[in-house]
Amino acid sequence: MGLSQALSTAMSGLRATQAAIALVGSNVANAETPGYVRKSIIQSAGVTGDYGSSVLLHGVDRQLDQYLQTQLRTETSGAAYADIRSTFLQNLQNVYGNPAETGTIEDSFNKLLTAFQGLSTSPDSQSARIGAVSAAQTMAQTLNAATQGIQSLRANAEMGINDSIVTANNAMAQIAFINNQLQNNGTTDAATASLLDQRDQYITQLSSLMDIRTVVNDLNQVTVFTNSGVQLVGTEAAQLSFNPQGTMTPNTLYNTDPTKSNVGTIAINFPHGGSYDLVSTNSIRSGKIAAYLELRDNTLVKAQAQIDQFAASMASALSDKTTAGTASPASVLPQAGYDLDLTGLQSGNVIHVSYKDNTTGVTHNLSIVRVDDPTVLPLSNTATLDPNDEVLGVNFSGGMASVVSQLNAALGSADLQFSNPSGSTLRVLDDGASNRSDVLAASVTTTMSSLTSGNPQLPLFTDNGGLFSGALTANGSQQTGLAGRISVNLGLLGDPSRTIVFSTSPLTPSGDTTRSDFILTQLQSGNYRYSPQTGIGTTGAPFTGTLVNFAKQFISQQGEAATAAKQLSDGQSVVLNTLQKKVTDTSGVNIDDEMAHLLALQNAYSANARVMSSIKQMYDTLIQAM
């Protein structure tokens, strides 16, 4: 090897060492920079002449474990999802309150029971009467406040989605911008490595919002997809759109039918046209956005349904009266059946008919529901909470003649005959001598509207001043959002004596506790069915129990859900932190290691410089000899 070759080799060594020292400086300077990946020189030995080997520089290597990075992004999505759910469920728990606290649903209900116990003890006491009405007001206000709290949380989830969409669009735009800067055919220099660091940060940010996967091509350009397969960004970024609705109410609900949905939905608009609904297709399954959607459209809606059901059951337990039908007169023989007085039947009230099909031996329990809005017809069997009944919705807006016509058209094949012998009387008969059917029982449940109807039933609670009867309309069930509208009957606020006096002709005698005892029994020990939409029980086996049992059930369920969410969030945080530490150990900057590397580079630089100095001396000697 000649001196020129030796000089060239030494110079290549100096250049490589200088480049490596520059990277050490960059590593040390960015040791605390978020997202910075430790970098090193990619070098190899090259042939110089017949005997020497120079140093060839190929670029900059990022010390990154791709598998760990993929796992980190997955766990980032999961941890963000778990954290959002845990935070919201803890807040929901605060809305319900702990059973031992004052001002909670359970506490207000217990005070309502205590107030009516006191009223039954001292029925003629004005203070006891006022106290009972006041306790009812507190109960209503507690449910009102719970509704406001739940809807506030739903509004926060809606805002969270909106903020996340803004962040996601920015991240995707930056990823596309960096992709277009990476035109180096796979070569990675320091500038490219820095761009890759920046891009990875945006991808990680995106992974906290939704579950994603990435594909990298030979040009270091990345394509990002959701785990469901929707492409978000490549060299061009798609645009996510969201139409927030602002104020949330119990009736503000998501529906896969856009014409029925009145909350914001997320659509992806592709760069070259076309769009796709990410919510109805369940394309986002983890990350913050998925958590916000699940809370807004499921968890918090179910929480609202729970307190609405509680309010509805409480109101109906006190105001609804079931009256058995009277046997039809002998004049209709050989047919037999019952006459039902439909006076006071409200929209949503139910006529119950039990009949036996003698051909099959099957007994049918029929629930005929009064409907004043024909657009909701036909009703499904889930319109009532009885898992064993058959539901028939009948439009009452056309009068009794229309009602009879609808019933005969629907049930004539069941060998039942309906008629209206007079006034508001509905008669239901079997087929008589043919004996293909027998009417076994019939009754009607009506919602009392008067405070002095002569019955112990009392419309203590109203729906924003109107009767609650469970009406069904095109806007949905009257029960939806009832907890936010429930209030004490204005007539009772003006005259608390009606908590005892249920008849004015004849006047309820002094000391009579019929009504207060009835209210106390209904509230304390009455058993009711509760909708499976509350998340408790099923359609085939709905939860049945007292109001206290139901309240304890959903409050306990919520507490358990909040605890489980907190545990899951804590577990996800541990996994995420463990992965982050592994990534840091692999890709982060260790100052001690860099300093040790710097000393080695200093020695290498000195050695290469010494070689060059020696070659210079040789050249000087050679020149002098000439």
CB–CB of 452/504 below 8 Å?
yes
Q: Can you read off the two tokens belonging to residue 598?
A: 């710097």
The residues, any chain, with a CB within 8 Å of residue 408's CB and separated by 6 or more, are 417, 418
**Span 191-216, mean pLDDT?**
91
* 3-class DSSP state of 88: helix
The residues, any chain, with a CB within 8 Å of residue 178's CB and separated by 6 or more, are 195, 196, 198, 199, 202
**Span 133-157, mean pLDDT?**
96
* pLDDT recorded at residue 456: 97
**Span 21-29, mean pLDDT?**
74
- Residues 356-406 pLDDT 10s: 999 999 999 999 999 999 999 999 999 999 999 999 999 999 999 999 999
Q: Which one has a higher pLDDT value, 61 or 129?
A: 129
Amino acid (one-letter) located at 157: A
Amino acid (one-letter) located at 42: I
Q: What is the DSSP letter of 322?
A: E
Q: Assign 18 a pLDDT band (cuts: 50, 70, 90).
A: confident
* pLDDT recorded at residue 50: 62
The two counts, helices (H) then strands (E), for the chain are 13, 23
pLDDT greater than 90 at residue 354: yes
Give percent of the chain with pLDDT exceeding 90. Answer: 71
**Span 227-237, mean pLDDT?**
94
CA distance 127 to 135: 12
Q: Please state the length of the chain.
A: 626
Q: Assign 256 a pLDDT band (cuts: 50, 70, 90).
A: confident
Q: Assign 138 a pLDDT band (cuts: 50, 70, 90).
A: very high
Sheet containing 326-327, strands listed edge to edge, beginning at the edge strand earlier in sequence: 326-327, 337-341, 425-429, 417-419
Residue with tokens 């596309």: 176
CA distance 23 to 602: 13
Burial of 87 (0-12, 13-18, 19+ CB in 10 A): middle
Q: Which one has a higher pLDDT value, 457 or 593?
A: 457
Q: Assign 64 a pLDDT band (cuts: 50, 70, 90).
A: confident
Handedness of CA 602, 603, 604, 608 (dihedral sign): positive
Q: Assign 27 a pLDDT band (cuts: 50, 70, 90).
A: low
CB–CB of 417/436 below 8 Å?
no
CA distance 436 to 421: 23
The partner residues of 543 in beta bridges, in order of sequence, read 530
- Of the listed ranges 251-265, 386-400, 525-539, the least confidently predicted one is 251-265
The partner residues of 439 in beta bridges, in order of sequence, read 355
**Span 479-496, mean pLDDT?**
97
* pLDDT recorded at residue 184: 57
Q: Assign 157 a pLDDT band (cuts: 50, 70, 90).
A: very high
Give percent of the chain with pLDDT exceeding 70. Answer: 96
* pLDDT recorded at residue 33: 77
CA distance 453 to 491: 13
The partner residues of 338 in beta bridges, in order of sequence, read 327, 428
User: To the nearest 5 percent, what fractions of the chain are helix, strand and coil?
Assistant: 50, 20, 30
* pLDDT recorded at residue 467: 97
CA distance 135 to 108: 7
Amino acid (one-letter) located at 65: D
Which stretches does DSSP call E strand in 105-264? 212-216, 222-226, 231-233, 239-242
* pLDDT recorded at residue 145: 96
Q: Can you read off the two tokens belonging to residue 10?
A: 């030494």
Q: Assign 91 a pLDDT band (cuts: 50, 70, 90).
A: very high
Write phi, then psi, for 16 (nearest 5 degrees).
Answer: -65, -40
* pLDDT recorded at residue 52: 59
pLDDT greater than 90 at residue 65: no
pLDDT greater than 60 at residue 341: yes
Residue with tokens 């490595």: 193
pTM: 0.89
CA distance 390 to 355: 11
Amino acid (one-letter) located at 159: M
Residue with tokens 């359609």: 539
pLDDT greater than 80 at residue 134: yes
Of 445, 437, 425, which is closest to residue 364 (Cα–Cα)? 437
- Of the listed ranges 114-118, 521-525, 582-586, the least confidently predicted one is 582-586
Neighbours of 521 (CB within 10 A): 14
Residue 196: alpha-carbon gap to chain centroid: 36
CB–CB of 178/200 below 8 Å?
no
CA distance 478 to 469: 8
Distances (CA, A) of 483 to 98, 145, 263, 369, 383: 19, 9, 20, 23, 19
Whether the upstream peptide bond of residue 329 has omega within 30° of 0, thus cis, is no
pLDDT greater than 80 at residue 55: no
The residues, any chain, with a CB within 8 Å of residue 581's CB and separated by 6 or more, are none
DSSP strand pairing (472-473 vs 239-242): unpaired
Sheet containing 350-357, strands listed edge to edge, beginning at the edge strand earlier in sequence: 320-324, 437-447, 350-357, 362-371, 389-395
Q: What is the DSSP letter of 145?
A: H
**Span 477-485, mean pLDDT?**
97
**Span 211-217, mean pLDDT?**
93
Whether the upstream peptide bond of residue 542 has omega within 30° of 0, thus cis, is no
Q: Assign 448 a pLDDT band (cuts: 50, 70, 90).
A: very high
Residue with tokens 């040789």: 618
Torsion of CA 429, 432, 436, 439, to 10 degrees: 30
- Of the listed ranges 37-46, 415-424, 441-450, the least confidently predicted one is 37-46
**Span 473-482, mean pLDDT?**
94
Residue 429: alpha-carbon gap to chain centroid: 48
Distances (CA, A) of 594 to 33, 57, 212, 598: 16, 20, 34, 6
CA distance 537 to 529: 9
Q: Which one has a higher pLDDT value, 623 or 482?
A: 482
Q: Assign 425 a pLDDT band (cuts: 50, 70, 90).
A: very high
Q: Which of the listed ranges 13-22, 43-52, 242-251 does the model predict with the highest average pLDDT?
A: 242-251
* pLDDT recorded at residue 5: 75
* pLDDT recorded at residue 578: 92
pLDDT greater than 60 at residue 186: no
Q: Can you read off the two tokens belonging to residue 522?
A: 């209904």
Q: Assign 164 a pLDDT band (cuts: 50, 70, 90).
A: very high
Residue 222: alpha-carbon gap to chain centroid: 32
Q: Can you read off the two tokens belonging to residue 418?
A: 């309906």
* pLDDT recorded at residue 48: 64
Residue with tokens 């996601």: 168
Instruction: Identify the helix (H) or strand (E) that includes residue 552.
Output: helix 547-587
CA distance 154 to 157: 5
Q: Assign 49 a pLDDT band (cuts: 50, 70, 90).
A: low
